[in-house]
Chains A and B, each alone.
Chain A
């Protein structure tokens, strides 16, 4: 027929292909997407994040069928799901365990990016979309955590929303606007529910698609940080160090899925509370606006950032102010900044030092917490290392990464604990290490003796 597109496929698939690029989409993203052959263990976590996203959406749909977003009914409706809804307990445990495992998987996925320089040119947008996903995920987790309407839900939300009131001038009105009431209440529960089940998931899905499209545009990085596109090609123009994603990596990822599901199921069926870290015990008490729990801690995946929030005390702003003045001096004399930047950046740092002492420390705590996440967005431009992968970096770089990881874990641990003098000091040191790791990256990442990067990836056949 006139106007028909010529396609290779026949039958039903041909009918579709003449109207929708099904086969070509499948080829572009699966069967003819060439990924490097040398992916290792760390490359499981991308597909696992997608798996957990699907688990969260599907279980979430079933939870919404029985959950009541109402201050009077919410707590009991969760127990109703646990007891009366057929398999409701399984759905709920999958969702609650899924929330924590999402962060486990995403943290490991991000760490992989950090190790192998997967955010370096031309993959900056892959990283930025990924970071936007991480932000959405944090919002999604925070708002979702209010929904069971237990004590920790309630007071956690109270504490975090109150943080916004530390912002000068607009703070108090802003936090009131977020809550929709003077305290966390039914109004807050309803709007958090709306965001948790509709608004953020929509944005999240869009960002996931953008993340994958951007990745497939530039191609995957690999543990050697070598571009396979620049290596030799076969007769069809495909890189010979690459391999079609489907079937090779689809079957490979299934192994990862199986391993992940074993861990996931072990938690769901044998330790759904995970010792009080996935489901906090205090959250089995219904929310009570008159009874403040003695110790309020966010769920484990927020605790590293929460530690940094608590670390910023009035005394500690002196340390930060001194650090920024020293930074200003160093940048002015030895920073290698050109033109007006040479004046502007040190001036900004000095102003920052003054403001650190003028504005309330609570505000700077909020800035530190927010900044510790936002700073990750700039990673592609902070890292000046001549090689991508940690494999070819100087050994002392590896120690820096190790210190960073241990610091992050210790900050996470400290965030779960009630504060005391020793812990505060530890989290202040931890905050300096965390921020220093990134802010000083432009200086340390280019230094040291780098190992020669091979022309092609290192691959040992299985």
Chain B
């Protein structure tokens, strides 16, 4: 008899395999602090979002008055978060037309309503982790059109909108890569150092006796550690807000879920005993 244990074992095996796969490749994402139950953080995130993001990015599925669910009153929303002629019941739309933004930036800034869900990875880091890392890994690069590049999303069209909050930082990027030279395996190390103004020093060396693996290592050095820490804190709040906005019902969902499961647990016991009562005489 092939039993469930074997089946479950096979399932567990296939799941662990995929977890290993998910961790591979690309820039290693930082883990964003979990503040989803922290209303002050969500409110700060909302403020940052409306001030810094909501001129180029829309949130077409999000109404301003939905922010009452993170503890703001309609009065506060009207006073602090509504800048244009929008009403408190309006959707977070923007005036910039997609065709224009495409011409100006090279790409239309995506709608951010559910971006935190879209950027999650299967059994891997969440979209909040992605945003938290992405917003903190801009570096100045004079060779780029906007003057900025990003370690998580290379050649991104978006400039570092939050640079005044962040303060200057330098960026070192070391990669060791395998190359083919006349059919022979060769390894090179390239070290790129970007200063705070975006001028890069690039050094490429051949590694004679190196035999893998490929390495990609990044290091950011802020000029002002205290300012950078405050910035990280703000970005954590902003990412947190984007995570909340991707599914505003998530807090309620989990709360209800506890009661539903408690009820169903009770129901299971009743059903089990009912069944036992009916079957007790069956020989």
Chain A 21-42, CB-CB to B under 8 Å as 1, else 0, gives 0000000000000000100010
Q: Which of A37, A79, A281, A409 contacts B11, CB < 8 Å?
A: A409
Cβ A255 vs Cβ B282 within 8 A: no
Contact indicator B118/A284 (Cβ below 8 Å): yes
Taking CB as reference atom, which chain B residue is nearest A280?
A: B122
Tell me which residues across on chain A come within 8 A of B123, comparing CB atoms.
275-276
* Majority-rule SS of A interface residues: helix
The yes or no answer to A82 lying at the interface (CB within 8 A) is yes
Pick from A115, A269, A401, A413: contact of B257, CB below 8 A.
Answer: A269
**Contacting residue for B10 out of A248, A255, A409, CB 8 A:** A409
- Asked if B204 is at the interface of the complex by the 8 Å CB criterion, the answer is no
Nearest-neighbour CB distance to chain A for B204, whole angstroms, equals 28
Flag whether B127 is at the interface (Cβ < 8 A). yes
Partner of B14, one of A251, A272, A401, A412: A412
> Quick check: A401 and B2 within 8 Å, CB to CB?
yes
Q: Which residues of A contact B120 (CB under 8 A)?
A: 273, 276, 281
In addition to A79-B61, A281-B117, A416-B122, 5 A-B residue pairs with Cβ atoms within 8 Å of each other are: A79-B114, A276-B123, A284-B118, A412-B14, A461-B282
Contact yes or no, A248 B66, CB < 8 A = no
Are A257 and B271 in contact (CB-based, < 8 A)? yes
- B residues less than 8 Å from A82 (CB atoms): 61, 247, 249
Chain A: minimal CB distance from B70 (Å): 14
Q: How far is the CA of A80 from the CA of B121 in the complex (A)?
A: 24
Contact residues in A for B265 (Cβ distance below 8 Å): 262
Q: Is A285 an interface residue (CB 8 A)?
A: yes
CB distance from A113 to the nearest CB of B (A): 14
Pairwise interchain contact A89-B253, C-beta atoms closer than 8 A: yes
Closest 9 CB pairs of A and B: A269-B257, A276-B122, A284-B118, A79-B61, A258-B268, A284-B117, A413-B14, A275-B123, A284-B114
Q: Which residues of B contact A410 (CB under 8 A)?
A: 14
Question: How many residues of chain B get a CB closer than 8 Å to chain A's CBs?
Answer: 55
Question: Chain A contacts of B18 at CB under 8 A?
Answer: 413, 416-417
Of residues 273 through 319 on chain A, the ones whose CB sits less than 8 Å from some CB of chain B are 273, 275-277, 280-282, 284-286
* Among B171-179, B206-214, B272-280, the stretch in contact with A: B272-280
Within 8 Å CB of A202, what residues of B? none
Are B2 and A269 touching (Cβ within 8 A)?
Answer: no
Question: A83 to chain B: which residues have CB within 8 Å?
Answer: 61-63, 66, 248-249
Q: How far is the CA of A258 from the CA of B253 in the complex (A)?
A: 20
Nearest CB in chain B: distance from A65 CB, A: 18
Which of chain A's residues has its CB closest to B278's CB? A251
Q: Are B10 and A406 in contact (CB under 8 A)?
A: yes
- The answer to whether B99 has its CB under 8 Å from any CB of chain A is no
Also in contact, A254 and B264, with CB within 8 A (given A276-B121, A390-B1): no
Chain B residue contacts of A416, Cβ below 8 A: 18, 122
B267 at the interface (CB under 8 A from A): yes
Residues of B within 8 A of A76 (CB): 60-61
Jot down 9 A-B pairs with beta carbons below 8 A, ordered by A: A83-B61, A89-B249, A251-B271, A251-B275, A251-B278, A261-B264, A402-B6, A405-B2, A417-B21
Q: Which of B's residues lie within 8 Å of A, judged by CB?
A: 1-2, 4, 6-7, 10-11, 13-14, 17-18, 21, 60-63, 66, 110-111, 113-115, 117-123, 127, 246-249, 253-254, 256-258, 260-261, 264-265, 267-268, 271-272, 274-276, 278-280, 282-283
- Which residues from chain B contact A254 at a C-beta distance below 8 Å? 271, 274-275
> A462 on the interface (CB 8 Å rule)?
yes
Q: Mark A240-261, 1 if CB is under 8 A from B, else 0.
A: 0001000110011011011101
Q: Is A270 an interface residue (CB 8 A)?
A: yes
Q: How far is the CA of A79 from the CA of B6 in the complex (A)?
A: 40
Contacts of A417 in B (CB 8 A): 18, 21
Closest to A40 in B: B1
Residue in A41, A257, A284, A390 with the greatest tally of chain B CB atoms within 10 Å: A284
A266: interface (CB < 8 Å): yes
Q: Give A37 to B63 CA distance when docked, in angstroms.
A: 57
> Is A121 close to B, CB under 8 A?
no
Does A268 lie at the interface of the complex (its beta carbon under 8 Å from any beta carbon of B)?
A: yes
- Closest chain-A Cβ to B45's Cβ sits at a distance in Å of 18
- A265 on the interface (CB 8 Å rule)? yes
| Minimum CB distance partner of B21 in chain A | A417
Q: Is the CB of B117 within 8 A of A80?
A: no
* Cβ B274 vs Cβ A277 within 8 A: no
B14 touches A409 (CB 8 A): yes
Residues in A neighbouring B63, C-beta threshold 8 A: 83-84
Question: Does the CB pair B121–A255 fall under 8 Å?
Answer: no
Are A275 and B2 in contact, with the CB atoms below 8 A?
no
In the bound complex, residues from chain B placing their C-beta under 8 Å from that of A401 are 2
From B63, B113, B256, residue with most partner A Cβ within 10 Å: B113
Contact A461 B283 (CB under 8 A): yes
**A391 within 8 Å of B by Cβ?**
yes
Contact for B61 among A80, A251, A275, CB less than 8 A? A80
Which B residues are CB-close (under 8 A) to A255? 268, 271-272, 275
When the two chains form their complex, are residues B121 and A284 in contact, meaning their CB atoms are under 8 A apart? Answer: no
B249 touches A391 (CB 8 A): no
